[in-house]
Amino acid sequence: MTRAFAWFLSALILLQTFSQELMVLDYQVHKERITELFCVNKAKPQLHCNGKCHLAKQLRKAADAESKAPVGFAKVKYEAVAPLASLVSAPIWWPSVSPQYALPVAAAYAFTPAHSIFHPPSLQV
């Protein structure tokens, strides 16, 4: 059920996205019928309109409707506020580590590189 709903929504989004292309495809498929029923230049065959006037009206109407559609997203202004260093400080009662239990700087830093895995690519000549 969920999968069918996802396919349905995907199809709706694609139809909305390619609406103008679908109008052109419909014109190409039904060119004779559109020329016969809707062409305003039937009396002037030298123009070779073949219903393109009707297609232009449809595309113009779709473009106007798309441009008049309300925008669904509101513009939001974000402001980043960084705290001042003077406001962020350790309290006076902050416990300190006595030198007896403090680690030496060399022992606090441990790095074991894995050269067998992380290395630049070798050139195969």
Listed by start position, the domains of the chain span: 19-68
Please tell me the predicted confidence (pLDDT) of residue 64.
87
If we measure between CA atoms, which residue out of 69, 32, 66 comes closest to residue 50?
32
The pLDDT score that the predictor gives to residue 51 is: 86
Q: What is the pLDDT of residue 114?
A: 76
What pLDDT, on a 0 to 100 scale, did the predictor assign at position 104?
A: 67
Q: Is the pLDDT of residue 88 over 60?
A: no
Among 27, 31, 29, residue whose Cα is nearest residue 59 = 27
pLDDT in tens, 19-74: 899 999 999 999 989 888 888 888 887 888 888 888 899 999 988 888 786 666 66
Query: So what's the pLDDT on residue 35?
Result: 86
Residue showing tokens 């009206």: 57
CB 62 within 8 A of CB 15: no
User: How many Cβ atoms from other residues are within 10 Å of residue 17's Cβ?
Assistant: 10
- Considering only CA atoms, which of 45, 40, 38, 10 is closest in space to residue 23? 38
Tokens of 118: 């992380």
Residues 6+ apart with CB under 8 A from 52: 27
Mean local confidence (pLDDT), 69-98? 63
**Start-to-end C-alpha separation, the chain:** 56
